[in-house]
Amino acid sequence: MSNNETMVLLIAAKQGYDEGKLNGDQYLSLLDDIENGVIVAETKKIEQQVEFIIKQYANL
């Protein structure tokens, strides 16, 4: 997983915790999954969408 992917996931986890959507145990579990690469598939979809959008606007 790239540094950018990891950073996006960490920011999302922190935001979920700060907004009260995740309790402490859920937050720590998510951090473990991020560290162990469990969430890579979902992040790849986001990365592909970003690349698609950039290509669309680059071709204008």
- Global confidence as pTM: 0.63
In terms of pLDDT, which residue wins out, 11 or 49?
11
Determine the pLDDT at residue 54. 81
The answer to whether 13 and 34 have CB atoms below 8 angstroms apart is: yes
How large is the average pLDDT for residues 2-25?
88
pLDDT in tens, 34-54: 888 887 656 677 778 878 888
- What pLDDT score was predicted for residue 23? 94
Instruction: Return the HEC string of 25-55.
Output: HHHHHHHHHHHCCCCHHHHHHHHHHHHHHHH
The predicted pLDDT at position 22 comes to 92
CA distance 15 to 42: 17
Domain total of the chain? 1
Find the domain containing 50 and state its range.
3-58
pLDDT at 33 over 80: yes
